[in-house]
């Protein structure tokens, strides 16, 4: 950490800051500039008090971190990319993995119809929401356990593993019994109890970035799962909140190469939630693959205008099939396969 | 809802949209402009399918809501302001209520020392975190049940009720046994399971706005608690995430009059988290009172540079006492008392 | 426009709103819902008073526009995509056009060295700043007219046309004499006098989106140029300001398909300013092409660590050459060429 | 500046960085941590190359500034607050100065009517737009020179000085001949040519923060004016762009105490543009005064629903009079007068 002192601070105050740094377990190094004095505090930070506390001292102007606060998620601990296996499907390897299915599981026929369609088009993992986080208490909240059963049926029929969201700690066990991968949704990215709990299951976890989560916070959320002993974490960019309103969120594809630079974890992209409009899904899906995403998660519904949630951003099976056809060449153009 | 059709849409497609509106239980009214045709769909929306689904139709350009989606939280259902009683202290009445205490409960002596100090300065409710949501898994996570006991001791000694955060559904019952008011933190503002659970306790709830929560979403989160049968909800503005980095968050005081206009619920402001810097707390606390806040929640610590969390934004007891002295005249200037 | 009235508004007030709408030159249509009454105001809006004024009436809750406010820039006026010719190079046609060069023109040898390099790698248009908008008054402000001359020399030598920024109305004429295309920078996107002036030159204009410019405002800025009689406008996405700080800006690739949907104008992307880091330029350039961009504008410098501006985001010629090699297959994957 | 090196960088690379720092005119100080090596570069930065360039080196992870980049605007150069005199009215002294008038000057009678009204209510400076920056080319663009004459008449009649916006360098001279203070609008905050030109006039300048301008950039824009030899700069917060849409912008009152901490310049607040809704103006005006603003600029129009611009955010004279009455006690509560 670099501790920047206020202008005009004299030696006794500099000594006081150094003393406090030493008490906290670090070695202080004073550097005097023409206008500003800074103190570098050297030492392992994890397990010691947080030096940012020094901002509470009236002589300190600011404290600037030098190290990233995450460890297990970082490239510095593991240089080569990680692969996560979801019941046999490898995410983070040479192939770009497409996960697809309805936003909500609505009925057995709906789930099976979509599952057949997305399998036929080349999807490798099914998705479908049984427990739904809804902004309004008056909206459809999901079929819950029944939904898990329809997903299991769809898996049996198609041979594809499935990912589904787990909303709360109480249902982690139940969902983990059924699902091949647990999804932690954007609204739960800093639900630290839930992160620890899904970490303890040892199951693959698809961790979605929150709508106001910085990259650093996102990797710290992954760190919660990793530090619970579960290395099977896949990061998912799904749109952040900005001033722009023509899209539901602003899908931040920059996050893909940034996450790849800072972390060894696989990164997938959700262009359906990220844009909120079905006609933007295809171009943004291609862009995601072009900038290095390891996978995509896409909403598909046979009759979007009757969907119980997120119809406006769902692709019809025919459009999804066309997208899969178009994605192949893009994947190849960047040295991957679909 | 107003359904805007794409340009150049003919009568058969307009009829198809109207048919779908009728099937969904609403009455369609077609208005033909020079360039655009719009269809107004009339009817009670709660309990019926969401018309925004129509955006999934290829002939529809956009769907614009006319009604606010929240009901119990709205001024339309209850015109006069609500008062929430926290063990005898009225929030939302003529007096501006100040809640104060440490970010984290760290020890019995620390908690009692702060409690005495803030009571002496005129605070009416104690605050202190026993369960702490921390961005990093390596940071101090709170004293948990032990912390609740220290808070109870501080209440007994000072006679002030206390508010403390509840982090997860599992501990709702335990926290509700001790606390006078449950706080739902910014990161849990869309943890819908938790909202419903604190709603079921019937205890007063201090609901914090999330860092990317729109006013409309915030009131829908309140609606979860209200619709679980608990009318004792206090809204708390605590800073939103913007591009500006000189403050930790951007405390959005505009939210105070906006919430007052849309809702009857009391509104309090947290200038400590909202700004992240102790020297900005006093001016923003005064501004909050001036624009109509019903209360403030402020972090106070005897030795901020040794705090286990959020030291940089904590006031020393002497500064807090001075602030309370300065707040009185501001409250009076807007027709209230402290 | 749809005028939403406040709840509980009676017939005399509804009549008053309708009267005002009629006075403003529109026809009012009243639709009474169960909770809300709305009035649709029908009629051509351009050239008539702005109905949003009605928000000033105490009986009006909000006014919602139905039509897009831009006209010449819109797909509704011109359905097929426009092509813009920059001294023989077509932007908006089947080929993806890459523009490249240094952020600032620094010297004759630097400009010629970069020009040779980017031409060799396949760029079709040169870029280089002679007039530089700099956040600090103490930073290098550009070689001005001298810079234009070096750019002209580079054009002569390579045969490539060039684009350069015009900062102020006074230099429009001079820059237009030299340059093949005028760039209006992000900070001038709402400098309406400048927009009108570059419109009057009839020269191709590369219009950059501002860091807080909504898509709608961006197209209205284009409308200023178009309505001055100049149809040769190319839109450029270059990053918006969000809360995320790992990138200098958040390159908003969603803008590419959104602009293509709303407008017929060509769209190019600037991944150098958009990300601010040279190692993010290549992945985001590929993503831009994959989602439909008609071109790219990329900063190249032979010795980025000595550049007079924006070194950290500049590619060395060798990296640029490699990127051009990798871009070809991506362009082909989406049915285009380089 | 602190230069953070990538992990695993060896001595030869560290030496190369130090050599480059020395070449740029600074002294390097190497500090070796357990995981990271950082180099502090000491020396006056103004007038020397920008060390952030080092981010272009492959061995450098990031460069962190220690000093603020502005100088003349900073408290470090001038500790006591500046006062700016606008034809006899002191802004930045003990009195809170209210500036008021219509968004646009529309006619002689309108301007005089408003001038009389705001003077009667206690405003000290008139405002009114003669040159209007409008998002749409089809909107009313101001009465231009005619507007300046009506403003001059209003000044003569009321004895109040006036501020008006200058949109472009060409009209600086003309506007400066008439006006007592020049306003640089939000969209021109980084129009550096205009900043320099208004600096050269020596007239008081009201500089508005842009909708995406950071505090640091805002003070650098002020620095352009100050470094042109004009010390008479007043800063104006007028709302930033965020995700929230219930207000037109998010008025960032935190900027008031932050600007006061970093700079000696007076700070005023524009609650009309900042919120966009007349019914939010009064509460936010009071909050601005409570948190330390030196003044307010408020839009007043006799018939807002017929205004040629910004009607929805304009106060009627009666509401403005009431606000002025309510503001007095708030000013006194924080030790000032109106």
C50-100 pLDDT, tens digit each: 888 899 999 999 999 888 889 999 998 899 999 999 999 999 999 999 999
Sort out which chain C residues have CB atoms less than 8 A from A246's CB and list them. 214-216, 254, 258, 262
Contact call for D35 and A64, based on CB within 8 A: no
Contact C31 B40 (CB under 8 A): yes
A1-10 pLDDT per residue, tens: 899 999 888 9
Give the least confident one: A44-48, C211-215, C264-268, D66-70: A44-48
Burial class (CB in 10 A: 0-12, 13-18, 19+), D239: buried
Query: What's the pLDDT at C130?
Result: 96
Q: Is the pLDDT of residue C46 over 80?
A: no
Instruction: Write the pLDDT tens digit of every residue in B168-187.
Output: 999 999 999 999 999 999 99
Residues in chain D whose beta carbon is closer than 8 A to a beta carbon of chain A? 2, 4, 7, 29, 31-36, 38, 40, 42-44, 64, 66-67, 76, 241-243, 245
Helix (H) or strand (E) holding B337: none
Q: Is A203 exposed, middle or buried (0-12, 13-18, 19+ CB in 10 A)?
A: buried
Per-residue pLDDT tens listing for chain A (338 residues) = 899 999 888 999 999 999 999 999 999 999 988 778 999 999 887 778 888 889 999 999 999 988 888 999 999 889 999 999 999 999 999 999 999 999 999 999 999 999 999 999 999 999 999 999 999 998 889 999 999 999 999 999 999 999 999 999 999 999 999 999 999 999 999 999 999 999 999 999 999 999 999 999 999 999 999 999 999 999 999 999 999 999 999 999 999 999 999 999 999 999 999 999 999 999 999 999 999 999 999 999 999 988 888 889 999 999 999 999 999 999 999 999 99
What's the whole-number average pLDDT of chain C? Answer: 95
For the cut 80, the answer to whether the pLDDT of residue D296 exceeds it is yes
Give the mean pLDDT of B295-321.
94
Check CB contact under 8 Å for D240 and B253: no
Contacts of D170 in chain C (CB under 8 A): 169-170, 193
Task: Report whether pLDDT(C48) > 90.
Answer: no
Give chain A's contact residues with C (Cβ, < 8 Å): 212, 214-216, 240, 242-247, 250-258, 261-262, 274-275, 279-280, 283-284, 286-292, 326, 329-330, 332-334
Q: Is the pLDDT of residue D43 over 90?
A: no
Categorize the per-residue pLDDT at B76 as very low, low, confident or very high, splitting at 50, 70 and 90.
confident
Cβ A2–D64 below 8 Å, yes or no? yes
The residue assigned the tokens 């953070």 is: D4
- Separation in Å, CA of D313 to nearest CA in chain A: 20
Query: Does the beta-carbon distance from B245 to D214 stay under 8 Å?
Result: yes
CA distance A221 to chain B (A): 7
Smallest CA–CA separation between A34 and chain D, in Å?
A: 6
Residues of A whose CB is below 8 A from C278: none
Dump pLDDT digits (tens) for C3-37: 999 988 899 999 999 999 999 999 999 999 877 89
| Residue B46 reports pLDDT greater than 80 | no
A247 contact residues in B (CB cutoff 8 A):
none
pLDDT at residue C330 tops 80: yes
C42: closest CA of chain B, how far (Å): 5
**pLDDT at site C180:** 98
A to C CB pairs, distance under 8 Å? 127
Residue pLDDT, tens place only, D276-293: 999 999 999 999 999 999
Query: Least CA distance to B171: which residue of chain A?
Result: A193
- Tens of pLDDT, residue by residue over B207-237, are 999 999 999 999 999 999 999 999 999 999 9
pLDDT > 90? residue D82? yes
Does the pLDDT value for residue C285 go beyond 90?
Answer: yes
Q: Do A137 and B170 touch (CB under 8 A)?
A: no
How far is it, in rounded angstroms, from Cα B133 to Cα A220? 12
Task: Give the chain B residue nearest D275 (alpha carbons).
Answer: B254
Chain A residues with CB-CB distance to C216 below 8 A: 246
Pairing status of strand B60-64 against strand D37-42: unpaired
CB contact under 8 Å between A47 and B138, yes or no, is yes
Q: Assess whether pLDDT exceeds 80 at residue D47.
A: no
Given an 8 Å threshold on Cβ–Cβ distance, is A191 in contact with B190? no
Tens digit of pLDDT for each residue in A41-59?
Answer: 998 877 788 888 899 999 9
What is d(CA C72, CA C225) in angstroms, rounded to the nearest whole number? Answer: 10
Q: Under a CB-based contact definition with an 8 Å cutoff, are residues D286 and D96 in contact? A: no
Q: Do B261 and D242 touch (CB under 8 A)?
A: no
Reading the block at residue C175, the tokens are: 């820059």
Which residues in chain A have Cβ-Cβ distances shorter than 8 Å to D44? 34-35
**What are residue D164's DSSP bridge partners?**
D182
Residue of D nearest to C247 (CA): D62
**Nearest-angstrom CA–CA distance, C284 and C323:** 11
CA distance D253 to B288: 10
Cβ-based contacts of A286 with chain C (< 8 Å):
290-291, 333-334
Q: Could you tell me which residues are beta bridge partners of residue B165? A: B183
- Contact pairs from chain B to chain C, CB under 8 Å: 58
Q: What is the per-residue pLDDT for C50?
A: 86
Preferred mutation among B138, B207, B318 to probe A, highest tally of A CBs within 10 A: B138
Q: Which residues of C touch B39 (CB under 8 A)?
A: none
Asked if A192 and B134 come within 8 Å (Cβ–Cβ), the reply is yes
> For residues A222 and A200, what is the distance between their CA atoms, to the nearest angstrom?
13
Contact B283 D289 (CB under 8 A): no
Q: If we measure between CA atoms, which residue out of D164, D144, D100, D104 comes closest to residue D309?
A: D104
The confidence score (pLDDT) of residue A76 equals 84
Give per-residue pLDDT as tens, D153-206: 999 999 999 999 999 999 999 999 999 999 999 999 999 999 999 999 999 999
pLDDT of B33 higher than 90: no
Q: Name chain C contacts of D167, Cβ cutoff 8 Å.
A: 192-193
What confidence category does residue C240 fall into, taking pLDDT thresholds of 50, 70 and 90? very high
pLDDT of residue C338: 92
Using CA atoms, how far residue D327 sits from B336, D290, D320, D336, in Å, is 15, 10, 10, 11
Q: What is residue A209's DSSP assignment?
A: P
CA–CA gap between residue B327 and residue B331 (Å, rounded): 6
| pLDDT interval class at B73 (50, 70, 90) | very high
d(CA C209, CA C221): 9
What residues have CB less than 8 Å from A203, skipping those under 6 apart? Answer: A176, A179, A180, A181, A182, A230, A232
Question: Considering only CB atoms, which chain A residues are within 8 Å of D216?
Answer: none
List all chains that touch chain D, counting a touch as 3 or more CB pairs closer than 8 Å.
A, B, C
Out of D57, D223, D277, whose CB is closest to C305?
D57
SS (H, E, C) chain C: CEEEECCCCCHHHHHHHHHHHHHCCCEEEEEECCCCEEEEEECCCCCCCCHHHHHHCCCEEEEECCCCCCCCCECCCCCCCCCEEECCEEECCCECEEEEECCECCCHHHHHHHHHHHHHHCCCEEECECCCCCCCCCCCCCCCHHHHHHHHHHHHHHCCCEEEECCCHHHHHHHHHHCCEEEECHHHCCCHHHHHHHHHHCCCEEEECCCCCCHHHHHHHHHHHHHCCCCCEEEEECCECCCCCCCCCECCCCHHHHHHHHECCCEEECHHHHHCCHHHHHHHHHHHHHCCCCEEEEEECCCHHHCCCCHHHCECHHHHHHHHHHHHHHHHHCCCEC
Distance of CA D288 to the CA centre of its chain: 14
Least confident span in C208-212, D44-48, D309-313: D44-48
| Amino acid D124: pLDDT | 98
User: Which partners does chain B have (≥3 C-beta pairs < 8 Å)?
Assistant: A, C, D
Best mutation target, D71, D135, D222, to test chain C (most C CBs within 10 A): D135
Nearest by CB to residue D253, choosing from B257, B287, B333, is: B287
Split at pLDDT 50, 70, 90, the class of B284 is: very high
Predicted pLDDT of residue C290: 98
Q: How far is B310 from chain C (nearest CA, A)?
A: 21
Which one of A70, A238, A244, A276 would you mutate to disrupt binding with C, by most C Cβ within 10 Å of its Cβ?
A244
Residue D242 has what pLDDT?
98
Using CB atoms, which residue from B33, B40, B241 is nearest to C38? Answer: B40
Element (H, E) at A101: strand A97-101
Query: Which residues of C fall within a CB distance of 8 Å from A338?
Result: none
* Residue C285, min C-alpha distance to chain B (Å): 24
Q: How far is CA B239 from the centre of its chain?
A: 10
Pairing between β-strand C60-64 and β-strand C2-5 as defined by DSSP bridges: antiparallel
Nearest by CB to residue D66, choosing from A33, A66, A241, is: A33
How confident is the prediction for chain B on average, in pLDDT? 95
CA distance C240 to chain B (A): 10
**What residues pair up with D29 in beta bridges, in sequence order?**
D40
Cα of D60 to nearest chain B Cα, Å: 23
The pLDDT score that the predictor gives to residue B236 is 98
Q: What is the pLDDT of residues C138-193, one digit of tens each?
A: 888 999 999 999 999 999 999 999 999 999 999 999 999 999 999 999 999 999 99
> In chain B, which ranges are E strands?
2-5, 27-32, 37-42, 60-64, 84-86, 89-91, 97-101, 125-127, 162-165, 181-184, 205-208, 233-237, 267-269, 295-299
What is residue D277's predicted lDDT score, i.e. its pLDDT? Answer: 95
Element containing residue D256 per DSSP (H, E): helix D255-262
- Chains in contact with chain C (at least 3 beta-carbon pairs closer than 8 A): A, B, D
Check C214 against A252: CB less than 8 A apart. no
Tell me if D42 and A34 make a contact (CB, 8 A cut-off): yes
Minimal Cα distance from A20: which residue of B?
Answer: B305
CB contact under 8 A, D244 and B253: no
The encoded tokens of residue D320 equal 């403005």
Confidence grade of residue B288 (pLDDT, cut at 50, 70, 90): very high
Q: Does B45 score more than 90 pLDDT?
A: no
């Amino acid at each position: 950490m670099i501790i920047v002192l206020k202008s005009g601070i004299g030696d006794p105050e500099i000594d006081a800051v150094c003393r406090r740094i030493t008490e906290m377990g670090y070695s202080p190094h004073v550097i005097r500039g023409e206008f500003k004095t800074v103190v570098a505090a050297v030492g392992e930070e994890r397990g010691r008090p947080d030096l940012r506390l020094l901002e509470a001292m009236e002589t300190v102007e600011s404290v600037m971190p030098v190290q990233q606060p995450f460890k297990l998620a970082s490239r510095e601990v593991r240089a080569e990319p990680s692969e996560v296996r979801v019941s046999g499907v490898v995410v983070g390897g040479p192939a770009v993995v497409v996960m697809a299915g309805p936003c909500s599981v609505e009925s057995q026929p709906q789930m099976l119809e979509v599952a057949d369609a997305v399998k036929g088009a080349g999807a490798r993992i099914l998705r479908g929401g049984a427990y739904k986080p809804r902004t309004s208490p008056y909206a459809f909240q999901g079929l819950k356990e029944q939904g898990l059963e329809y997903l299991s049926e769809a898996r049996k029929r198609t041979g594809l593993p499935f990912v589904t969201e787990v909303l709360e700690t109480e249902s982690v066990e139940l969902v983990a019994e059924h699902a091949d991968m647990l999804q932690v949704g954007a609204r739960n990215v800093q639900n630290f109890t839930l992160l620890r709990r899904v970490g303890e299951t040892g199951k693959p976890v698809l961790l979605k970035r929150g709508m106001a989560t910085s990259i650093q916070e996102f990797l710290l959320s992954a760190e919660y799962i990793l530090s619970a002993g579960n290395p099977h974490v896949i990061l998912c960019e799904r749109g952040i909140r900005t001033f722009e309103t023509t899209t539901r969120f602003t899908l931040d594809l920059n996050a893909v190469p940034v996450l790849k630079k800072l972390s060894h974890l696989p990164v997938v992209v959700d262009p359906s939630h990220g844009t909120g409009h079905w006609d933007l899904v295809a171009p943004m899906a291609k862009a995601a693959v072009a900038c290095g995403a390891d996978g995509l998660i896409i909403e598909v519904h046979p009759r979007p205008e009757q969907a119980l949630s997120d119809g406006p951003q769902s692709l019809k099976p025919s459009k999804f099939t066309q997208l899969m056809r178009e994605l192949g060449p893009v994947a190849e153009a960047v040295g991957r396969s679909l």
